[in-house]
Amino acid sequence: MAALGIGAFVLALFVSVVLHEAGHFVTARYFGMKASRFFVGFGPTLWSKRRGETEYGIKAIPAGGFVKIEGMTSLEEIDPADEPRAFYKAAAHARLVVMSAGSFVHFVIAIVLIYGVLVALGTTQTSETMIGRTSCVATAGTSTNACAGPGPAAAAGLLTGDRVVSFDGHPISTWDAFTQLVRDHGPGPAELVVSRDGELLTLRPDLVEVLRDRRTGGQGTDPVGALGVSPGQETRHYGPLGAVPETFKVIGSGFTGMYETFTERIDDISRIFGDDRDESGFISVVGAARLGGEVATADEDWSDRIGGFLILVAAINLAIGIFNLLPLLPLDGGHIAVLGFEQARHGLRRLRGYRGPVQPVDFAKLLPATYATVVVLVGFSLIILSADIVNPIRINQ
């Protein structure tokens, strides 16, 4: 079953990459550029057929695809008859659309998948009010693992599935608010109202004192109250309209997560071969495929497995789309950055009285930086790939 999940993920990623190239192909043709080749895969050609001015084909290694647009830079030698239709000869807005089309396709795939899951299957998420489980609590002055007994919550009769209604007279609508009230309460008796099977019950747990950060609940030295509970998981369904803002909320969190990964978690690269590897950090295609297999074989309802699998595919598409827009050559984002510089420089020249044509950037001067970027990206990718082979991230422990 795991192999089936991995195979399904690889197929989904392969289709996504081919659609990425189709985005470049369709927009290039729309703006009159010459796209001479559209191939699926890499390596030796297994089959090809020319239709019109484009050769379509399949290659032996199913690792993506490519589109050959004539004249991507002025350094490329092309048939003089094709020069008027060369990419670098096209208007700035046309080149921008063509270069952005690949990432745009990935974003569309992510949006469609996330929206479809929210409407058709719903999503499993941490509940804001439902009790997931109760546990003992290591009191202040003891080891974090040294605790015994039922804990304050279980001793008071709190059960899995109960929904917290109020704590000491304060209505509860979010888990963060609930845990903050518990910490601020400190040790001693408290009044907890819960909903169970449609009835309201008043419980009186005797909170204990622990040392934590009073604001976050994480590790710290503040003496605070503790109850010994954790939130449950529940499936939330969305209507066709309600799913729209939630979809873009998820997309926004993806952008935020990528930003945090490249700005705050870059140091985690030193831990990817250790036991403390960050589960939210860098991952290769191999690692993502492995996770896809684990999601497909998770001990959950079939709808949760399918939903989790599709969300993972959406997340990978979003990550690829964002990464591809980084302002680094040879990525599409690097070409977009060069185009932006070219147009900005032309605008400044026009302010100084220049009325001639736009002067293209000399790509020959950018080749060393391009080669250096390729070396860094390949090296970085190989490191992450190695970690995913010898020290993979696992979700089914």
> Which residues are catalytically annotated?
21
Task: For strands 222-226 and 206-212, give the pairing.
Answer: antiparallel
DSSP secondary structure code for residue 121 in this structure:
T
Ranges assigned E (strand) in 12-148:
35-51, 54-69, 123-134
Distances (CA, A) of 180 to 123, 132, 174, 176: 26, 18, 10, 6
Give the DSSP per-residue string, 337-366: HHHHHHHHHHHHHHHTT--SPPPPP-GGGG
CA angle, corner 61, sides to 48 and 47, nearest 5? Answer: 15
Phi/psi zone of residue 198: left (φ > 0), alpha (ψ -120 to 50 degrees), beta? Answer: left
Amino acid sitting at position 264: E
Q: 57: exposed, middle or buried (C-beta count within 10 Å: 0-12, 13-18, 19+)?
A: middle
Q: Extract the tokens encoding 250.
A: 């998820």
Give the contacts of 164 (CB within 8 A, at least 6 positions apart): 129, 130, 131, 172, 178, 192, 193, 194
Helices (H), 264-392: 285-296, 302-324, 332-351, 367-390
Are the C-beta atoms of residues 25 and 31 closer than 8 Å to each other?
no
The b-or-e profile of 180-208 (16+ CB within 10 A means b, else e) is bbbbebebeebebbbeeeeeeeebebebb
With tokens 């420089």, the residue in question is 345
- How far apart are the C-alpha atoms of 233 and 124, rounded to whole Å? 6
Torsion from C-alpha of 208, 213, 219, 225, nearest 10 degrees: 10
Main-chain dihedrals φ then ψ at residue 85, nearest 5 degrees: -105, 10
| Cα(205)–Cα(170) distance, integer angstroms | 15
